[in-house]
Structure 1
Amino acid sequence: METPKSLIEEALDQHLKSLLNKHAAGTQVDAWSEEVEILKVGFRDLAIARPDALHWGIVLEYELPLEGGRRPDVIITVPDKILVFEFKQDPRISGAYVDQAYAYARDLAEYHSESHNHEVIPFLIPTKSRNLVSAQDGVRIISPDKIAAVLSEFEEKDPINIQDWLSGEYAPLPTLIQAARMIFQNERLPSIKRAESLGVGDAVIELQKIARTSKELQERTLAFVSGVPGAGKTLVGLRFVYESSSDTANSIFLSGNGPLVEVLRDALKAKAFVRDLHSFIKTYGTTEKVPSQHIIVFDEAQRAWDAEHMGVKNNVHFSEPELLIRIGEKLPDWANLVGLIGHGQEINSGEEAGIAGWNDAINSESAKSNWKIFTPARFKDQFPNSDVTVVEQLDLSKSLRSRRAEDLHEWVSKLLEGKISEASRLAYRIIASGFQIHLTRNLSEAREFIRILYQDEPAKRFGILASSKDTCLPDYGILNGFQDTKRIKYSRWYNNPTGEIGSSNNLEDVVTEFGCQGLEVDCALVAWGNDLLWDGSDWQMRKLRPKFKQHDPLSLRKNSYRVLLTRSRDEMIIFLPPEERFDKTEHALLAAGARMMQFELKSAI
C-alpha cells in the first residue's frame, strides 16, 4: 500500500482509457483518491493485528472480460475467500447499490475459473458513513472505519495466490444475440464448454448427418429439436444454418417472431440467413416460386399457425406446417426441414395446435413424398403412421442458463399454476443464488432503482415489459397498446445504447410479450396489468374480445405472463399499479417469495 497515490490514480486512468476509450472525469479521480486513502488507512490498522494481511492480494478496477467495461471497485484475496468491495460516495444506501455489489460477487463465483472453489463475499462501503456494520440480502455493509476490524476476523491461512487468480478465465454466458454475432463472425463462444457439455454441439452434428443423408439419398426429411427454455434451441438452429451454408447446401433460418428476426438481422448484418417465417411461407407456399434453400430451419415450430387462423389472416386454407411441407415438396431432389420446439410458448390465436399440426401436414394431400421424421422420443407417438427415427441428441433437456434461471422458470410455472407455497420455496433458493425478484407499487422509484443499479455498466440491457391485453397501464405512462407498440423498432430497443433513440435502457418505450419472446434483458421492469389478477385463490383474466378464435384464452394469458416473467438474466422488478384491485395480486406475489423493493435502506451518515 506504499505506492504513491498519484501513480495509482494515473494507472487507473490509463486502465479506464483502454476499456472505454476515455479518460476519467474529475469526480471519478476524486472517488479513486478517496478509496485508495480508505484502503491505506484500513490496511495500516489491519497490519498491526494481522501482519499476514500484507501478503493478501488487492486488485483495483478489475475488468470483467466480455462485460462491456464492468469493474468492481476492489477485489481482495484473503485466505480461502475473495472479497469484493464496492464503494459509494452517495450519503444514501440504495437497495440498488446492494444488488450491484452482490451481482459482482455472484458473477465472479459463477464465471471466473479461479473463484469457483472459493467463497466470494460482497461488501458495500458507504464512504460517508461511520460506525456501521450491517448486512442486507447477502451483502455486508460496513463503514470505512470498520474495515480493519471486519477483515481481521478471517482465519489465518495461506492466502490465495493473486497471480494465479488474475490468470483465471472469466467466461460469462452470452445472450442469444451475442452468441449469434460470435457464430457469424467465426469467434469462439466464451461459454462453449457449457454449451457443448449440455448437448448443443451434439445436436448440430446430428442435424448435419441428417442433412447430408437427405442430400445423398435424395430424401425429404423433417427433424425436430426440442428443449426446455434457455436450452439453446435457437443457438442450435443458427449454428446449423451457418455451418451448413458452406458445406451441405444453401440454408435459411425462419422465425415467426418478428422482433427476434429484426434484432438478429440488425445484429448479424446477415439478412440472407434470417427471414420472417410468415412472409417466406406467403412467398413460396402459396405460389409456384421455389426457394434456393434445401435446408429450412424454423423456430418455435409448435407455434405455427393452424389452417383456421391462416384462413382469417391470409385467406389461405392451409396451415403453416402444411405450406412448409408443400415448399419442401417443390424443392428438386431433396429437402431437409428442421423445427425447433419450445414448451409453454403459445401466446397468440392460431398457435394452439402444437406438434400435432405437423403430423396432420405430412399426412395431408400436400405431402406427396414419404417424409422421414427424426425426433426425440417424446414426440415419437405424435407421428403414428410415419417413418420415425428417434434421435435423443435432439432433445436439449438442460438449460444453458444458470441454475437460478432454471429455477426462475419453475417459479413462474408454480406461480401461474396457483401453487403459491411451492413457488415460495423456490423463491428462497432463487434469491439466495443472487437473482432478486423485487415488487413495487411506485413506478418512478423502480425506474430510478434500475438506473442506479446499472449507471456504470453501459453493456447492460434493461427495459419495460407489459402485457398487450392490459388496459390500465397507459394511465401510468406505460404505453402498451397496439398503436404505441407497433412503432417500436426492436433493433434499436435491444441494440442501441443508453441515451440513443429507441433504446430499451431509456425506460420509455414498452414492449409486450410479442416483442420480447425469445429475447432477453439483464433486468426487466415487468408492469403487471389488469388482464390477469389473483382473486384470493386462483388467477382470473379480464374478459377479452379476441379478433380470432381462442380455444383456451386463460392459458394464452398465463403463457403471456410466463414470457414476460422469464426475460431477465440478473434480476426482475415487478410493478403493480397502486390500485385496490391489485392488492390481492400483491399478496400472492409476496406469498410466492417476491420481496418489496427497498429504494433506500437508510441514511449512511
Structure 2
Amino acid sequence: MYRVLFVCHEETGMPLWVDALSNRSDWNAYVPDSYKQLFSSVPTLHVSPELMLTTSIRHDFINVSPWVEAILELDMDKARKAYQDMLAKGFQCWRAWDPKKLPGFISYVQQNYPGDYTGIVVFSHLGHTPGMFGPQYKGSYVKATEAYKWYNEESYKLTRGASEFLIQGIELEFPIVSFIGDFYIQNGKWVVDPKATNPGLKDLRKVLENVYRVLLTRSRKGMLLYFPMDPKDPRDWKLKETYEWFVSMLSLKSNDK
C-alpha cells in the first residue's frame, strides 16, 4: 500500500515530519535532493530530484517565490528586481490604503478582465477594525462548505474575506492581499502586533511569515496590496512604514488605485 503525503510548512515546519517518520519503517518517504540531509534519519528515505518543482504553474509560469521571500527578508533591491522581472512577464500589482478604493478595484477587474476572480484574502487571527474593508464587511470566517459559494457569488461583494486556510484551496486571478496590522514594518524590521496572539502557538512570528507567504502566492495574474489606514487618525498609521516600503519597492506611481 502506498501512502502519499503532500508536506506543507506550518509552525514547526519540516522537522515535525522528520520526527514523525524517523521511527517508522512502514512508511516510504520521498524527498527532493534539498531535503536529503534533513530526512537522513528516516529509515525508508527515497531521494528523487524530480520532486523539486522549479516552475510555477499557478502564476502562468511566472515564479513569484523570489519576490515573496525578498519581501519577508526586507531585501529591497532583491524584491524590486524580482518584481520588475514579474512585471515584464505580465504579472502586476497595485496598492491602496483607502477602503473606498476597493469597490473601484473590483470594477476595474470586472471591466478589464472579464471572467477573472478577485476578493479579500486576509489573516484570520486578528480582529478587524470596523470599516477596515468597508461597512459591508462581516469577517474572514467562511465554512468549507461555503467555499464554492464565496468564490462564485460573494468574493467580489467584499462581504467576507478568505483566510489563509480557505485560500489555500482557492486561487484568484487578482486577490486583494490585505496587511491589517498584525505583521508590519517598524524601524526597518518586521514586527508582530502584541494583539495578534494565539495561546496554542509557540512561534507566532514564524506562523505569520508563513501566513503572508500563503497570501502573497495565491494569485494567478496579479494582486492589489491593501494597507488599511485612516488619514484623519494618526494613531491608525501603524502601517505607514509598511505601505511606504511597498511603494518604494513597486516604484510605479501609476499603480496607485
**Superposition TM-score tier, normalisation by shorter sequence:** 0.7 to 0.9
Q: Distance in 1 between matches of 2:213 and 2:42?
A: 34
Are the counterparts in 2 of residues 439 and 594 from structure 1 also a CA contact under 8 Å? no
CA distance in 2, matches of 1:359, 1:559: 19
Over aligned residues, Cα RMSD in angstroms? 2.7
Aligned-partner SS, 2:3: strand
State the one-letter code of the partner of 1:409: S
**Counterpart among 198, 205, 212 of residue 546 in structure 1:** 198
> Shift of residue 415 of structure 1?
1.0
Q: 2:176 aligns with which of 522, 525, 550?
A: 525
1:564 aligns with 2:215: yes
Choose which of 50, 55, 59 in structure 2 pairs with 1:393.
50
- How far, CA to CA, are the matches of 2:138 and 2:205 in structure 1? 20
**Matched ranges for 1:202-241 at <5 A:** none
Kindly state the Cα deviation for residue 541 of structure 1 after the two structures are TM-superposed: 0.9
Tell me which amino acid in the other structure corresponds to 1:541: V
Partner-residue secondary structure (3-state), 2:5 = strand
Aligned to 2:17: 358
> Which structure carries more strand by proportion?
1
Contact (CA 8 Å) 1:376, 1:393: kept in 2 or not? yes
What stretches of structure 2 of length at least 5 have no aligned partner?
230-235
2:111 to 452, 455, 459: 455
Deviation at 1:524, TM superposition (A): 0.7
Aligned to 1:580: 237
CA distance in 2, matches of 1:595, 1:466: 24
Distance 1:446 1:595 in 2: 19
When normalised by structure 1's length, the TM-score is 0.37
- Which of 144, 161, 166 is the aligned partner of 1:515? 166
8 Å contact from structure 1 (residues 463, 524) kept in 2? yes
Task: Tell me by how many angstroms 1:429 deviates.
Answer: 2.1
Does the 8 Å contact 1:474/1:480 carry over to 2?
no
Q: Does residue 186 of structure 2 align to residue 535 of structure 1? A: yes
Are residues 507 and 418 of structure 1, via their aligned partners in 2, closer, same or farther at CA, if it must alter by over 3 Å?
Answer: same
2:21 and 2:42 in contact (8 A); partners too: no
Distance 1:569 1:385 in 2: 36
Output aligned runs, 1:460-539, within 5 Å.
460-477=116-133, 479=137, 481=139, 485-487=141-143, 489-494=146-151, 496=152, 500=153, 503-539=154-190
Is 1:336 aligned to 2:33, yes or no?
no
Change (3 A) 1:473 1:413: farther
In structure 1, give the amino acid aligned to 2:106. Answer: I
> 1:457: Cα distance to partner?
5.0
Q: Cα offset for 1:558?
A: 1.6
Larger Rg: 1
State whether residues 521 and 569 of structure 1, in contact with CA within 8 Å, keep that contact through their aligned partners in structure 2.
yes
- State the alpha-carbon separation in 1 of the partners of residues 26 and 163 from structure 2: 41
Counterparts of 2:206 and 2:16, CA distance in 1: 19
Distance 2:186 2:71 in 1: 13
Distance 2:21 2:216 in 1: 35
Which of 434, 438, 445 in structure 1 is aligned with 2:101? 445
1:471 touches 1:530 (CA, 8 Å); kept in 2?
no
**1:562 CA drift (Å):** 1.5
Shift of 1:338: 1.3
Change (3 A) 1:402 1:566: closer
Which secondary structure does the structure 2 equivalent of 1:568 belong to? coil
1:121-136 equivalence runs, <5 A: none
TM-fit CA distance, 1:447: 2.0
Matched, 1:416 2:100: no
Give the AA of the match of 1:356.
P
CA 1:589–1:475: 2 relative to 1, 3 Å: same
Select the structure that is richer in helix. 1
- The gaps in structure 1 that reach 5 residues or longer are 1-334, 600-605
Cα distance in 2, alignment partners of residues 513 and 458 from structure 1:
26
Q: Judging changes above 3 Å, is the alpha-carbon distance between structure 1 residues 555 and 594 closer, same or farther for their aligned structure 2 residues?
A: farther
For residues 20-53 of structure 1, the C-alpha deviation after alignment (integer angstroms, 9 at most, x for no partner) is: xxxxxxxxxxxxxxxxxxxxxxxxxxxxxxxxxx
Equivalent residue, structure 2, for 1:427: 83
Alignment partners' CA distance in 2, 1:540 and 1:510: 23
Counterparts of 2:19 and 2:237, CA distance in 1: 48
- Partners of 2:74 and 2:252 lie apart in 1 by 18
Distance in 1, matches of 2:5 and 2:162, equals: 26
What SS does the aligned partner of 2:111 have?
coil
Number of matched pairs: 245
Would the aligned equivalents of 2:171 and 2:220 in 1 still touch at CA under 8 Å? yes
Q: In the TM superposition, what is the alpha-carbon distance from 1:518 to its structure 2 partner?
A: 4.3
**Alpha-carbon displacement from aligned partner over 1:273-300 (angstroms, at most 9, x marks no partner):** xxxxxxxxxxxxxxxxxxxxxxxxxxxx
Shift of 1:491: 1.6
Greater displacement, 424-433 / 557-566: 424-433
Q: Which amino acid aligns with 1:571?
A: G
Partner Cα distance (1:541, 1:416) in 2: 13
Provide the C-alpha distance between the structure 2 equivalents of 1:559 and 1:385, rounded to a whole number of angstroms. 25
SS of residue in 2 equivalent to 1:521: coil
Q: Which amino acid aligns with 1:546?
A: N
Change (3 A) 1:520 1:456: same
More RCO (CA 8 Å, sep 6+): 2
Residues 425 and 370 from structure 1, CA distance in 2 versus in 1: closer, same or farther, beyond 3 angstroms? Answer: closer
